[in-house]
């Protein structure tokens, strides 16, 4: 048993290092001198640090417009997706199994279509509607890919909320909407937090729809791609590191809702 725990610990450490290494090298390149990177035997540790790449992207003022647009689109996409998915998922979770199961399969079916094939007709229609190169256009497009996933997550979350609590709340005189707001949603907070993280991250990193629906006002992923095409490793790594910072902040901020045993003790006997 002790050997098994040691092996499991080493395995976790190995995969942890494997996952963190790309992020570490990205940060390292963004604060390193060219002679430390373009060498025959580059070192693993950071030696000669510099902030000139960060000063450059902020001094050119090319970062703020893409950053703000991506932040705005991701936040609105997450809020709108939750506004639709929370009541919809709750309603689906309370349907009979023979009805609920086909609906959940239908959510998966919507994710089977390639986004490249969907983005072109969407962009044609958005041109007609005047939504090209707009925040609203990107939000609607992102919800096409994010809303089914968030709904699927929340359906499973609401299924774990005991119906006994809703019945007890109804007996105490609480309305159906009041039960949803005061009982169900607080108990489903961990799942809603997960759905929020997936919705926000899915929109923040989205690239395909941004390519088709953006002309002049680029998002942050498009800005990173622009410097990849230019072949500048250091600016690419700097922009990529900047892109990762909000992800870390959002994930850390939502961690308090991801507590295990959130519903422990909700039902006794």
The full DSSP string for 32-68 is: B-HHHHSSSS--SS--SB--HHHHHHHHTT-SHHHHH
Domain assignment present for residue 194? The answer is yes
Q: Which of 50, 12, 11 is nearest to 29 (CA)?
A: 50
Give tens-digit pLDDT for 102-154.
888 887 787 777 777 788 888 888 888 888 888 898 999 999 889 988 998 89
pLDDT at 261 (0 to 100): 42
Q: Report CA-CA distances (Å) from 55 to 15, 69, 187.
A: 34, 21, 45
Classify 267 as helix, strand or coil.
Answer: coil
Q: Report CA-CA distances (Å) from 201 to 74, 174, 248.
A: 7, 36, 10
Please state whether 45 falls in left (phi above 0), alpha (psi between -120 and 50) or beta: beta
Domain assignment present for residue 37? The answer is no
Domain assignment present for residue 150? The answer is yes
Cα(14)–Cα(6) distance, rounded to whole angstroms? 12
pLDDT band at 268 (very low <50, low <70, confident <90, very high): very low
Domain assignment present for residue 239? The answer is yes
Yes or no: say if 219 and 70 are a contact pair by the CB < 8 Å rule.
yes
Output 139 or 256, whichever has higher pLDDT.
139
Yes or no: say if 140 and 84 are a contact pair by the CB < 8 Å rule.
no
Rg, C-alpha atoms of the chain: 23
> What total number of domains does the chain contain?
1
Share of the chain above pLDDT 70, in %: 94
Domain assignment present for residue 177? The answer is yes
Domain assignment present for residue 45? The answer is no
Query: Within its chain, how far is the Cα of 17 from the centroid?
Result: 22
pLDDT at 259 (0 to 100): 58
CATH number for the domain spanning 95: value is: 1.10.3720.10
Task: Spell out the long-range contacts of 137-140 with Cβ–Cβ below 8 A and sequence spacing 24 or more.
Answer: 137/213, 138/73, 138/77, 138/203, 138/206, 138/209, 138/210, 138/213, 138/214, 138/219, 139/73, 139/76, 139/77, 139/80, 139/203
Domain assignment present for residue 10? The answer is no
* pTM score of the predicted model: 0.82
Mean pLDDT of the chain: 82
pLDDT at 75 (0 to 100): 93
Domain assignment present for residue 15? The answer is no
The domain containing residue 188 runs over which residues? 52-257
Cα(212)–Cα(228) distance, rounded to whole angstroms? 18
Buried-state track 153-180, b at ≥16 Cβ within 10 A, e below 16: bbbebbbebeeebbeebeeeebeeeebb
């Amino acid at each position: 048993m002790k050997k098994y725990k040691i092996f499991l610990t080493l395995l976790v450490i190995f995969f942890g290092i494997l996952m963190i290494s790309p992020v570490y090298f990205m940060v390292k390149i963004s604060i390193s001198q060219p002679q430390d990177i373009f060498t025959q035997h580059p070192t693993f540790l950071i030696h000669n640090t510099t902030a000139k790449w960060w000063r450059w992207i902020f001094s050119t003022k090319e970062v703020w417009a893409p950053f703000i647009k991506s932040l705005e689109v991701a936040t609105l996409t997450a809020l709108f997706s939750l506004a639709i998915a929370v009541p919809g998922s709750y309603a689906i979770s309370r349907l009979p199994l023979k009805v609920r199961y086909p609906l959940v399969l239908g959510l998966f079916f919507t994710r089977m279509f390639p986004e490249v094939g969907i983005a072109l007709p969407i962009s044609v229609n958005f041109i007609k509607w005047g939504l090209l190169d707009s925040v609203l256009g990107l939000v609607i497009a992102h919800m096409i890919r994010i809303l089914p996933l968030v709904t699927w997550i929340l359906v499973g979350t609401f299924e774990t909320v005991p119906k006994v609590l809703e019945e007890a709340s109804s007996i105490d005189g609480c309305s159906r909407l009041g039960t949803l707001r005061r009982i169900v949603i607080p108990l489903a907070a961990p799942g809603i937090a997960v759905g929020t993280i997936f919705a926000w991250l899915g929109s923040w990193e989205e690239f395909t729809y941004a390519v088709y629906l953006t002309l002049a006002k680029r998002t942050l992923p498009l800005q990173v791609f622009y410097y990849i095409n230019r072949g500048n490793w250091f600016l690419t790594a700097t922009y990529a590191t900047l892109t990762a910072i909000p992800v870390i902040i959002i994930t850390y901020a939502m961690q308090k809702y991801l507590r295990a045993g959130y519903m422990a003790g909700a039902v006794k006997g």
